[in-house]
Amino acid sequence: MAIHEAPIGIVDSGLGGLTVLAALRRAMPEQDFLYLGDNAHAPYGVKSPEEVVALTRGAVETLFGRGCRLVLLACNTASALALRRLQRDWLPDAAPDRRVLGVFVPLIEAVSGHGWREAGQSARRLRAVFFATPATVASGAFSREAQRLAPGLSIVEQGCPGLVDALENGTDPAPFIRRAVAGALAQGSADVALLGCTHYPLAETNFRAALPPGLPILSQPDIVAHSLSAYLDRHPQFCGGAGRLECLTTGDPAQVEARAGALFGQAMAFGAA
């Protein structure tokens, strides 16, 4: 595959990354994308760090093997637990001409007031509540990254046990969200709520109903799409194509297609990874 035809790879532990994929395709309709949902091992949010690193690396290797030169981890748990380790310990030797990016930095930079870039800090002072999977919260990675990029940003990290499973299985997410919001608000008021899992935009209406009226909510799909588009403007060697899309799954394609169709209201074709 020629470099200018290489698709951008998108990895998620399940179906949540499809929210990011949809935003990316709206922002870059001429770009080729290759989506891989690791549905056989979902959700990542309850797994150990070592399991998440191994699964994420395996997914990235699969996408590299299919011609991707840039892979986006559209999974906050993978971004929290695996991204830095892959970038530091694996990528320089395994594929030094390729890149792996995550979804933390765009969200931090959006709330702190500046765009996705390789370095720089914002002094904007805000108190944010960050809703995420238990594994993402346990890692503390979002708070560490926020402190590095935006020292004025105070973070309350709140886990949402069971929420990803509920969304994947079609269970009512409202009870899980109400419990998480109550836990977050018990720690004090906030200036903004951050939905730190790519599944959570599917339940944004429930978050709005549970949170205080008027509290701003930032979720990742459009933020990540804008940031990746700007990144590709600076690194055009990683983009190209004609708007093609292929979706793969490590799970059962027929089951994944049915669930994706129920979640997003449109038919989507998946092949076996």
The CATH number of whichever domain residue 90 belongs to comes to 3.40.50.1860
The burial class, CB within 10 Å (0-12 / 13-18 / 19+), for 129 is buried
Distance CA 203, CA 77 (A): 18
Model confidence band, residue 196 (pLDDT cutoffs 50, 70, 90): very high
Per-residue pLDDT at 243 exceeds 60 = yes
The answer to whether 11 and 78 have CB atoms below 8 angstroms apart is yes
User: Is there a single domain that holds both residue 126 and residue 39?
Assistant: no
Count of Cβ atoms closer than 10 Å to residue 3 Cβ: 11
Place of tokens 């799409």: 225
Q: Which domain holds residue 128?
A: 112-219
Task: Among 219, 235, 257, identify where a domain stops.
Answer: 219
pLDDT digits (tens, 9 = 90+) for 126-152: 899 999 999 999 999 999 988 888 888
156 or 116: which leads in pLDDT: 156
Percent of the chain residues past pLDDT 90, beyond the cut: 79
User: Is there a single domain that holds both residue 29 and residue 155?
Assistant: no
Q: How many Å separate Cα 243 from the centre of its chain? A: 21
pLDDT, residue 48, reads 93
User: Is there a single domain that holds both residue 9 and residue 71?
Assistant: yes
Our CA angle for 95, 97, 101, nearest 5°, is: 80
The catalytic residue positions are: 75, 197
Model confidence band, residue 120 (pLDDT cutoffs 50, 70, 90): very low
Distance CA 19, CA 37 (A): 12
Cα–Cα nearest to 142, from 123, 129, 124: 129
Amino acid sitting at position 248: L
User: Is there a single domain that holds both residue 204 and residue 233?
Assistant: no
User: Is there a single domain that holds both residue 129 and residue 49?
Assistant: no
Distance CA 92, CA 126 (A): 36
User: Is there a single domain that holds both residue 30 and residue 49?
Assistant: yes
pLDDT digits (tens, 9 = 90+) for 67-97: 999 999 999 999 999 999 999 999 999 999 9
User: Is there a single domain that holds both residue 188 and residue 163?
Assistant: yes
pLDDT digits (tens, 9 = 90+) for 147-189: 888 888 899 999 999 999 999 888 999 999 999 999 999 999 9
Cα–Cα nearest to 232, from 2, 3, 8, 1: 8
The answer to whether 246 and 271 have CB atoms below 8 angstroms apart is yes
Provide the CB-side half-sphere exposure for 71 (13 A, CA): 30
pLDDT, residue 124, reads 55
Q: In what order do the strands lie in the sheet with 217-219?
A: 153-159, 126-132, 192-195, 217-219
User: Is there a single domain that holds both residue 129 and residue 160?
Assistant: yes
The burial class, CB within 10 Å (0-12 / 13-18 / 19+), for 188 is exposed
Number of domains forming the structure of the chain:
2
pLDDT, residue 240, reads 87
Per-residue pLDDT at 257 exceeds 50 = yes
Per-residue pLDDT at 37 exceeds 70 = yes
User: Is there a single domain that holds both residue 37 and residue 92?
Assistant: yes
User: Is there a single domain that holds both residue 92 and residue 125?
Assistant: no
The answer to whether 10 and 37 have CB atoms below 8 angstroms apart is no
Read off the pLDDT of each residue in 18-29 and give the average, rounded to a whole number: 96
Task: Among 203, 219, 235, identify where a domain stops.
Answer: 219
User: Is there a single domain that holds both residue 88 and residue 134?
Assistant: no
Read off the pLDDT of each residue in 234-251 and give the average, rounded to a whole number: 94
User: Is there a single domain that holds both residue 181 and residue 116?
Assistant: yes
